[in-house]
Structure 1
Amino acid sequence: MSKFSILVNREHLLPETYIPSPLTEPSIPFSAPPGDKKRLLVKDAATAAEELFQRAGKEGIRLCGVSGYRPYSRQQELYRAALAKREKLLRKTGEAPMIAVAPPGSSEHQTGLALDVSCPSENYDLEETFALTPEGKWLSAYASLYGFILRYPRGKETLTGFPYEPWHIRYVGEPLALYLSLTGLTLEEYHLL
């Protein structure tokens, strides 16, 4: 297994002190302002993202990075806010949907290998409808050629522990990305082999 095949989820946590190195800012369009940590990725993932976005641009596809690296402390803030929102909804409606925000330590964004991607037609939002856009379809078809997988595919929610996220790509390196893409396996299933 390569260093890029690390499994991070609710059962395989990163320590609070984990900070990937080296982090660098890829030369791709981002919705976050310059200097924001969201614009950072591990060097190999950043290089692959540049190549992926460059090819997309040549084919008339306008991709935009929304969120890359996220430190443990920021994930903790997001998770607490999601819990509060879920609790409020539960009190109001009696129903509580699955929390899409990962608990601290279980977010792939902390690895610097994950990148949320959107496009202008989605107003740079992270929505399931991204999958229906030309950009979403292109990303699904070509991400693996650059070492990325669509990490949370439809129909695999019980395996990954996360809802379907067509915008969330994860760098695993080209050989593994191609293998997972061809077999339809998730990273969880791969780690069970």
Structure 2
Amino acid sequence: MRYDSYTRLINGKHPLPEGYVPKQLTDIGLPFQASSQDSRRLLEIRTAQAALRLFQSAQRDGLNLYGISGYRSYQCQKQLYGQNPYVAAPGTSEHQSGLALDVSCAEAGFALTEEFAFTSEGSWLSRNASLFGFIIRYPKGKENITGFPWEPWHIRYVTRALSNYLALTGQTLEEYYALRPF
């Protein structure tokens, strides 16, 4: 599978190369809890466009989502991993692909915690992410399959066709590809 494929499985068994950088990274102007010069505001262009539609739809429903972390380079992930071994190892983070976005809201204190799932924004995101091509990448109850704890804040762009299929079947990307990360 190509490294720039929207449906590519990225995990410990299917890492990205150290030098991989998405071709079209952009800051599309999403509300973010990061400075205007921070590379975490960047997303792959089609992902950014879908995220903008997602955020705008939430706003129309009276909710305010905020980006916390989008793109992270291999080197940035390496530094984070050195500080916190609970994050994905360098090369295995979907953030390096530019297709993943961590989101939160004021009610959750802009934190990346399970409590986000119980906010109005978190509940809305869980119900609506697939309509915009996103999945909750690490769902509750699938930890033994994904190899990651439940992360209701971590969304991944996989296209609307695949996100709707995964939402209807309840599958993770690992299950879709009939693989296990360990």
Deviations 1:135-189 (A, max 9, x none): 0000000000000000000111111111100000000000000000110000011
> In structure 2, what is the equivalent of residue 86 of structure 1?
none
Structure 1 or 2, whichever has the larger Rg, is 1
Cα deviation for residue 191 of structure 1 reads 1.1
1:102 aligned partner, one-letter code: A
Q: 1:162 aligns with which of 134, 148, 153?
A: 148
2:128 aligned partner, one-letter code: Y
TM-score of the superposition, structure 1-length normalised?
Answer: 0.89
> In structure 2, what is the equivalent of residue 70 of structure 1?
72
Counterpart CA distance in 1 for 2:138 and 2:25 is: 24
In the alignment, does 2:148 pair up with 1:146? no
Counterpart CA distance in 1 for 2:126 and 2:108 is: 16
Cα deviation for residue 21 of structure 1 reads 1.1
Question: Partner of 1:18: helix, strand, or coil?
Answer: coil
Cα deviation for residue 26 of structure 1 reads 2.0
Counterpart CA distance in 1 for 2:41 and 2:84 is: 22
> In structure 2, what is the equivalent of residue 136 of structure 1?
122
Q: 2:63 aligns with which of 61, 64, 68?
A: 61
Counterpart CA distance in 1 for 2:155 and 2:100 is: 6
Query: Which structure features the higher share of helix residues?
Result: 1
Q: CA RMSD in A?
A: 1.3
1:126 aligned partner, one-letter code: L
Q: Give runs of aligned pairs for residues 1-193 of structure 1, distance below 5 A.
A: 3-83=5-85, 99=86, 101-192=87-178
Moved more, 66-75 or 2-11: 2-11
Count of matched residue pairs: 177
Cα deviation for residue 28 of structure 1 reads 1.2
1:120 aligned partner, one-letter code: A
Segments ≥4 residues shifted beyond 4 Å = none
TM-score of the superposition, structure 2-length normalised?
Answer: 0.95
1:68 aligned partner, one-letter code: G
Counterpart CA distance in 2 for 1:58 and 1:112 is: 26
Counterpart CA distance in 2 for 1:173 and 1:39 is: 20
1:138 aligned partner, one-letter code: W
Counterpart CA distance in 1 for 2:40 and 2:143 is: 25
Counterpart CA distance in 1 for 2:168 and 2:71 is: 27
- Contiguous gaps of at least 5 residues in structure 1: 84-98
- Contiguous gaps of at least 5 residues in structure 2: none
Counterpart CA distance in 2 for 1:141 and 1:158 is: 23
Deviations 1:106-138 (A, max 9, x none): 000000000000000111110000000000000
